[in-house]
Structure 1
């Protein structure tokens, strides 16, 4: 049997079914019941409707019965995780829709749900509640959702997130893609054995980073960076340089622009160099501003993260991945002329594979350049043609 998450969570509106279950729209016709859920009736196997206005309806997506049966056959628990404001309406809808359980018996969907978390809060709250009930680690959970801004559950907690696009709902292919991402994330896991470098005999130095102490403490605990306030070109991540001079520069830059912030330059290691060499990597062209982070709204922020993942996948690299790019020179005070290399390590990789070690001034003085362009073949970094063109345009060499 293929590896499988312990908890599979599905959103409601436009993920499990098309349409909206909105309290302010349903049950407004003649003879409406004051209990909104009592205005829902079954139209046919796939659809429900408002008994006071048959033009208002919702319909279960075609692949949902097959997906739910597969979830249960693989021994996982089904969770409903929704920000819908009416749990009663969602529960009633799920009572009308029937699917087969793992034994081929017809059951209402609501009877197959182990965790029914429907309330209008950030979905990190839903998953914190589920973890509290189940004692299952976030790394053994996955969420399917049509709203990209709910990818906070992956960034903050480590729940694998798979988005459904264009109001097509959760399809079988999308479901399988999410499972593949979850399995690939499991494949990059290397046990956290504390801060002693000697506890990682297969470790590999991958760069240097000047960071604030809050981030350092999170990473030193074997966790992930949780800061969502600071702007970031390529998404929320730890940004690493191959040249220690760059890390020193940004270490001082943070102090200059955020007075009172304590910072330290750290060496960044992969706990297991073999896993690091094998894992997915992409070197993206800096001019592709359309796949950089868009912070104009939470909606756009979420989709900018997902759109970057989609473009990277079109270049042949799937999540989880790390990202390399060339960063424009920072100007006066920067230690050298021209662009510099950066490595972007996303939270799933931070928690599964990264070791962070504070460096002393003497260690920094003797630290060697890791030289990312020279590691392209060794580290199996994918180089799209657009990236090669970007290097050529800037009269730079790439392996």
Structure 2
């Protein structure tokens, strides 16, 4: 199984260095336009003919990766926010690799979709979808900027980041494909909101939400609101205790006047898939893993850093996250800390069923009690989490 479209960023993903139109071609005898000053230094590198200290180089694994993309029959896209398409096109014209048949080709000749312009990358992918009619779930983006993970949260394009200016490596490429395949593995067909359409459904909690979010989820989609990044990122926040969901439902109305809300029961469409999918219970004490709202840049990297730490605990994307939330005080209906389940958009769209429930149904609803589901649901519990529970004299089971 392989994506229908693989998209690659340019600077620091395909190649090291920056292709900046305001920096290249500034030496003596410079040509206009700026891309005419790009010349080939050797197989891997290009340089500025007016200043040989300015150069870029294709990363070592890129030829093998592009050949593999083509061998798997996928479309190749260049998706970049570089402000000079002319510079990028010329660089890709200079670099040559072997295609799926072993023939030498210029990289630019192998590109099916050449989307290079300064816009949020959701714009690039919306255009590509318009041309191909591919589902976003059949696309993947490799990129060195975490800020571009909006394509996963908003659209459902699998996102794989390259770190520390190491570029796109073979291992990084394979990890992205593994995430894409794991995401496909949790997909359960959407059959509308009728409970009897899902004979293997499983109740996993309750959530008080605004009607805009509910309507997106009731259509089999995902929550796309980026106005507020809660503790563990852009997600659905679900409680095992219906009283907690009722309280937060009212909290939203209090702090966001005029917003219509209701409490919903949250189900997995297929309980078997739910039981075996990746889950992690994180320690609330790890504030470094929570969302950093200082800037869009910090926001993106806080998400990727959390994913990296969760992977070090043995749980890889896509996953859901459990934690203990500090008590809200005042009229909050339970004593001490309470449980929250964080469901990210990739899981929402592939596996979650959201059903509005009446006041009568709420009054008779019972606590799902997440600590009692650890074995059945295959929730990974790091030692740090056990220590966090012990610190509060709580039982994790």
Answer yes or no: same fold by TM over 0.5.
yes
Q: Deviations over 1:251-309 (max 9, x none)?
A: 00000000000000000000000000000000000000001000100110000000000
**1:102 maps to 2:97:** no
Mapped partners of 1:5, 1:150: distance in 2: 19
For 1:24-35, what aligned pairs fall within 5 Å after superposition? 24-35=22-33
Give secondary structure in 2 for the equivalent of 1:356.
Answer: strand
In the alignment, what sits opposite 1:371? 369
C-alpha distance in 2 between matches for 1:221 and 1:36: 48
Task: Using the TM superposition, give the Cα deviation of residue 320 of structure 1 relative to its aligned residue in structure 2, in angstroms.
Answer: 0.2
How big is the alpha-carbon RMSD for the aligned residues of Structure 1 and Structure 2? 0.4
Residue in 2 that maps onto 1:292: 290
Aligned partner of 1:80 in structure 2 is 78
Equivalent positions of 1:126-165 (< 5 A) are 126-165=124-163
Matched, 1:351 2:349: yes
1:121 corresponds, among 99, 112, 119, to 119
Cα deviation digits, residues 140-189 of structure 1 (max 9, x gap): 00000000000000000000000000000000000000000000000000
* Residue of structure 2 aligned with 1:259, choices 257, 260, 267: 257
Out of 6, 21, 24, which is 1:8 matched to? 6
Among 234, 237, 242, the alignment partner of 1:236 is: 234
Q: CA deviation at 1:231?
A: 2.9
1:271 aligns with 2:284: no
Q: Which SS does the other structure have where 1:301 is aligned?
A: helix
Partner residue of 2:47 out of 39, 46, 49: 49
Q: Secondary structure at the match of 2:112?
A: strand
> Structure 1: any 5+ residue segments left out of the alignment?
none
Q: Find 1:361's aligned residue among 359, 367, 378.
A: 359
**Structure 1 residue ranges (4+ consecutive) displaced by more than 4 angstroms after TM superposition:** none
- State whether structure 2 residue 383 is matched by structure 1 residue 385: yes
Is structure 2 residue 280 aligned with structure 1 residue 282? yes
Q: Distance in 1 between matches of 2:378 and 2:193?
A: 27
Aligned to 1:18: 16
- Paired with 1:339 and 1:288, the residues of 2 have a C-alpha distance of 15
Task: Give the structure 2 partner of residue 212 of structure 1.
Answer: 210
Structure 2 residue aligned with 1:192: 190
Q: What is the rounded CA distance, in whole Å, between the counterparts of 1:304 and 1:314 in structure 2?
A: 15
What is the rounded CA distance, in whole Å, between the counterparts of 1:193 and 1:368 in structure 2? 26
TM norm structure 2: 1.00
Give unpaired runs (5+ residues) of structure 2: none
Q: CA deviation at 1:336?
A: 1.6
